[in-house]
Amino acid sequence: MKTSFRVARIAGIDINVHVTFGLILLFGAIQWGVPYGARGALFGALLMLVLFMCVVLHELGHSLVAQAFGIPVRDITLLPIGGVARMEKNPSKPVHELLIAAAGPLVNVALATMLWIATDVGATLASTPVPDLAKQMTPGLPTALLWLFLSNVFLAAFNLIPAFPMDGGRMLRAVLAMSLGFAIATLSWFVMGSSATLGVTIAAIVLFAVGCTN
């Protein structure tokens, strides 16, 4: 049974949508439809669709840089949790891996910057306390622009976390490989990533325990 379907082809790269992708559109429709009715449901579904266009651009950032270094890209598949670009082989040089990994988050930074410059997102954030932002978000173009700005900032920051399989983790490994080689860099990368995960887990448990005793 086929689990994904091609919806476009860009620069020789198939853009596929997984059969479960509709779940994220449904989620957006429910999230905005419950408080705002049919208009909100349509707004929520369209908002998710535009967000995943940003995800496609993110993955194209990786893919086009990979192609520039002679690495074939099989396809990009959109899932409810994000996008995946499948490359035929891994980069042979650390600097190539660094640039390929960095290209995706840089696309989100560029999109967020364009939204900041072309809209009044900056003025909205400057004049509205963060806790009040959610209360002011109603279906409409201003909300969509603000939401997309914040989403692209989040996508860039989240992907720069220095742990596998995030782009930041691949960037860290590439930097380590420049002096240590891929094999030792991968081992160091795994150890540091595991340590970071353990540290975050312990911190979360401590904070939860403190919260329960207060």
3-state secondary structure 104-154: HHHHHHHHHHHHHHHCCHHHHHHHCCHHHHHHHCCCCHHHHHHHHHHHHHH
Is 14 contained in some domain? yes
- pLDDT-derived band of residue 110, with 50, 70 and 90 as boundaries? very high
Q: pLDDT above 90 covers what percent of the chain?
A: 61
CA distance 97 to 88: 14
Is 78 contained in some domain? yes
- pLDDT-derived band of residue 173, with 50, 70 and 90 as boundaries? confident
Is 16 contained in some domain? yes
pLDDT of residue 119: 86
> What pTM was estimated for this model as a whole?
0.83
- pLDDT-derived band of residue 1, with 50, 70 and 90 as boundaries? low
Is 50 contained in some domain? yes
Is 53 contained in some domain? yes
Q: Quick: pLDDT tens for 81-103.
A: 899 999 999 888 989 999 999 99
Q: Which of these ranges, 22-36, 140-154, 168-182, 199-213, has the smallest mean pLDDT? A: 199-213
Is 188 contained in some domain? no
pLDDT of residue 86: 94
pLDDT of residue 205: 46
Looking at per-residue confidence, does 187 or 162 come out higher? Answer: 162
- pLDDT-derived band of residue 113, with 50, 70 and 90 as boundaries? very high
Note down the domain range covering 80.
1-89
Q: Which of 59, 62, 105, 176 is catalytic?
A: 59
Is 43 contained in some domain? yes
pLDDT of residue 186: 58
Provide the H-helix boundaries in the chain: 22-68, 94-118, 121-127, 130-136, 141-159, 167-180, 182-213
Number of domains in the chain: 1
Q: Quick: pLDDT tens for 22-34.
A: 999 999 999 999 9
- pLDDT-derived band of residue 181, with 50, 70 and 90 as boundaries? low
Is 198 contained in some domain? no
Say whether 59 is catalytic: yes
